[in-house]
Amino acid sequence: MPVLWLILIVLALAVAGYVAGRARAISGAGDDRRALHSLPSYYGWNVAMKVMVPAFLVLIVWLIAQPFIVNTKATSLLPESAIPEGSTLGLVMSDVRRVADGLDLSVAQGLLSAGDAATLTVGGSDIRAMLGSAGVAVGTEITPEVLAAAQSYRSTNATGDLLRSIVVIGLGLIGGALALAQTNPDFRARNAVERGIRAILVGAASLAILTTIGIVLSLVFNTIEFFRIYPASEFFGSFTWSPSFGGGSQLGIWPLLWGTLYISLIALLVSVPIGLFAAVYLSEYAGPKFRAVAKPALELLAGIPTIVYGLFALLTVGPLLLSVFGRDGLGWMQAGTAVMTAGLVMGIMLIPFVSSLSDDIINAVPQSLRDGSYGLGATKSETIKQVILPAALPGIVGAILLAASRAIGETMIVVMGAGAAARLSLNPFDAMTTVTAKIVSQLTGDADFASPEALVAFALGMTLFVMTLGLNVFALFIVRKYREQYD
Amino acid sequence: MYDSPLRKTEVDTNASKISARDVQVYYGDTHAIKDVNVEILDKTVTAFIGPSGCGKSTFLRTLNRMNDTIDICRVEGLIELDGEDIYDKRVDPVQLRAKVGMVFQKPNPFPKSIYDNVAYGPRIHGLARNKAELDEIVEKALRRGAIWNEVKDRLDAPGTGLSGGQQQRLCIARAVATEPEVLLMDEPCSALDPIATSQVEELIDELRENYSVVIVTHSMQQAARVSQKTAFFHLGNLVEYGDTSQIFTNPVDPRTESYITGRIG
């Protein structure tokens, strides 16, 4: 039974459970809803929840676990000799899966009866041609071992699917029946539903955290793998970045790190003053009408995809800078892609982050502080400079650090605006590249995934992760430490 | 009600400091202040009393143009400080507010040190030639604010760390430090306990030697204790204005009598 049907059946069971639970509660109270502990709908929800939650939980776990079990079983049927010279178990297993899929398709198209598919042997007919006519192309000739494994794969999968349907529906029915049995006028359905909702919310929150942990772990293991085949002292100590997939590459992080920091620095130099001044204007000087238009317009900048900023850098800002600083002008710039191009455009991208957060923070400074300052005869800008900005400073620092971590993690603008040369240079009109851009170029392409040239991407990712994590933690620390100064 | 030990002198000057004639204040379409005429005397404490929403705070804020910061607020009529129209186009509201200081209902120390709080006004107005002079101004203001002894050892501590009553006296010291000619106080004791209140009241009585003080208060006892002149506002009108002793013992208007005896409010 397909999963979609299974889900629909459980949902239908839940609806039925809701109606039944509600009806049972009302009839148990002698049609007088005042005699119930909770509102009738709570009894219904209690039953529906107890149908759905265990059934869906088991379904999710099953969906994750079944492929593993089926794979292991099929793998155990493949003897060592079935793996040809120069191939790997993984490649053979993918053949097995293709054959199994092909058999499924053949049965579905009527080329093969279900019984024949299970008992087919290599000698009987040209399976490869048949699978081909069903729309599945198998690269190599099918060996008996592969066919046997594919047949086992199919049968285990079918048994698993059947068992899954039975267990899931059965759990739903049992849960619903137990909940219905609980249902009587004195049952505290409202509290039970409250606990259930709490559990669901906790589940959602922990899923987010678990995913983060998963991401970090995958980074960590691949990073360890990288350092096993490439010395860490070279990675952190070398000032040269020259990967060559033929081997003998030098993978020093410093040119990339320098590019990242240089571009981020320029981006912050652009975005922090402009964003901050815009925020001060919007929150202190602008009239309500202008503010109502300008603030959403500024925040619109944050909604533009970074690839569009990249185009802007490549097609507009780069040539513009080149015409001023290039060979026809001051002669500092060789090509349109440069640190300055990417930094300027990234700065524009970050303006709304700084201004929007700072604006909220400045607005949160109590009006009484402004009144106090005006009452002493201070002008608006004196008040802003000496009272409002100091009071809002922790929040503003937090906003800037968040913008900085965005800048460090930005990829698209760098790929399109900064060039691809990894170099250590002080000239902001030179092309440089960043950690993120190099992660992209190391992983895309047809590199061997076990080579240090590909695995270095994970070490770079880990470095970035640690950097932005550090910045975020520092931002949170600053914000927390000074937050309650004026409360 | 009229037996305060603080009353040492009767009204001893008749020089007018602020005079308001036919003042109207509008908040959008709401007519908040109607035809108010009042003469506020120099070196005198004038109390504004009246029920909530009667316009006394609004009128107080027109005296140093704090209402300018509210977009929908409009003021008509003539308000003169020492014979000069404060709503004249040539008047800089910032200079005016340096002359007419204000203390607010809720203590609002800046998130700075105690010293910097008090030095704020003198610094922006350039009242001190050097650090020593600034130190002197700060000490004098804190002494006037009757808080010097409590804070002299921790001038670098944040002003927000003081207790409510200390914060309010710090705010008064801050207002005094700019040497204003008039001090406006908008219910300065409403957030304070009785002990802090009596300290602030004593302070107000001392300030009268140098300044004209206008105080808005909900406490009629307080008005009777600290003021020499009292104005009673009701529904945006100035109902009665006169010597405090006369207002509280022999009010002319029946509405005043009802209010001070607690029948309306």
The mean per-residue pLDDT over the stretch B39-55 comes to 90
Mean pLDDT of chain B: 87
B-chain residue closest to A486, CA distance: B111
CA distance B121 to chain A (A): 6
Best A369, A374, A376 member to test B by mutation, with max B CBs in 10 Å, is A376
**Do A17 and A176 contact (CB within 8 A), yes or no?**
yes
- Percent of chain B's residues with pLDDT above 90: 34
Distance from CA of B232 to the nearest CA of A (A): 24
Q: What is the pLDDT of residue A214?
A: 93
Residues B236 and B54: their CA atoms lie apart, in Å, by 5
Weakest-pLDDT range from A90-99, A455-464, B23-32, B106-115 = A90-99
Asked if A366 is an interface residue toward chain B (Cβ–Cβ < 8 A), one would say yes
Q: Which amino acid would we find at residue B4?
A: S
- State the DSSP string of chain B: ----TT---------EEEEEEEEEEEETTEEEEEEEEEEEETT-EEEEE-STTSSHHHHHHHTTTGGGGSTTEEEEEEEEETTEETTSTT--HHHHHHHEEEE-SS----SSBHHHHHHHHHHHHT--SSHHHHHHHHHHHHHHTT-HHHHTT-TTSBGGGS-HHHHHHHHHHHHHHT--SEEEEESTTTTS-HHHHHHHHHHHHHHTTTSEEEEE-S-HHHHHHH-SEEEEEETTEEEEEEEHHHHHHS-SSHHHHHHHTTS--
Residue B150 in any domain: the answer is: no
For residue A375, give the nearest of B71, B102, B106 by CB distance. B102
Say if residues A370 and A383 touch (Cβ distance below 8 Å).
Answer: yes
The reply to whether ipTM tops 0.90 is no
Q: Do B125 and A377 touch (CB under 8 A)?
A: yes
Written as one letter, the residue type at A374 is Y
In angstroms, what separates the C-alpha of B59 from chain A's closest C-alpha? 15
Q: What is the pLDDT of residue B83?
A: 86
pLDDT digits (tens, 9 = 90+) for B121-164: 999 988 888 999 999 999 999 988 888 989 999 999 988 888 88
Q: Which of B102, B108, B176, B214 would you mutate first to test chain A, the one with the most A CBs within 10 A?
A: B108
Low-confidence spans in chain A with pLDDT less than 70: 1, 82, 85-87, 122-126, 139-140, 245-247, 445-448, 482-487
pTM of the model: 0.74
- What's the domain range around B33? 16-108+181-261
Residues B113/B158, Cβ–Cβ less than 8 Å: yes
Name the minimum distance, in Å, from the CA of B20 to any CA of chain A: 20
For residue A286, what is the nearest residue in chain B, using CA coordinates?
A: B71
CA distances from A255 to A34, A48, A338, A421, B31 (A): 74, 59, 14, 9, 69
Q: How far apart are CA A38 and CA A186, in angstroms?
A: 9
- Smallest Cα–Cα separation from A464: which of A261, A304, A263? A261
The residues spanned by each domain of chain A are 3-187, 250-486
What is the secondary structure of A229-271 as a DSSP string? HS-HHHHHH---EE--TTS--EE-SHHHHHHHHHHHHHHHHHH
Q: For the domain that residue B34 is a member of, what is the CATH number? A: 3.40.50.300
In the structure, what pLDDT confidence band is assigned to residue B70 with cuts at 50, 70 and 90?
A: confident
The answer to whether the CB atoms of B174 and A373 lie below 8 A apart is no
Cα–Cα distance list, A385 to A367, B97, B216 (Å): 15, 19, 31
Tally of domains within chain B: 1
- For the A250-486 domain, the top CATH level (class) is mainly alpha
Taking CA atoms, what residue in B is nearest to A289?
B71
What local confidence, expressed as pLDDT, does residue B163 receive? 87
pLDDT at B137: 93
Say whether residue A375 is in contact with chain B using an 8 A CB cutoff. yes
What pLDDT, on the 0 to 100 scale, is given for residue A485?
A: 56
With beta carbons under 8 A apart, name residues in chain B contacting A287. 71
pLDDT value for A124: 58
pLDDT at B264: 65
Q: Pick from B143, B145, B63, B55: which is nearest to B101 by CA?
A: B63
- The closest alpha carbon to A100, from A112, A88, A84, belongs to A112
pLDDT score recorded for residue B265 = 54
The pLDDT value recorded for residue A210 is 94
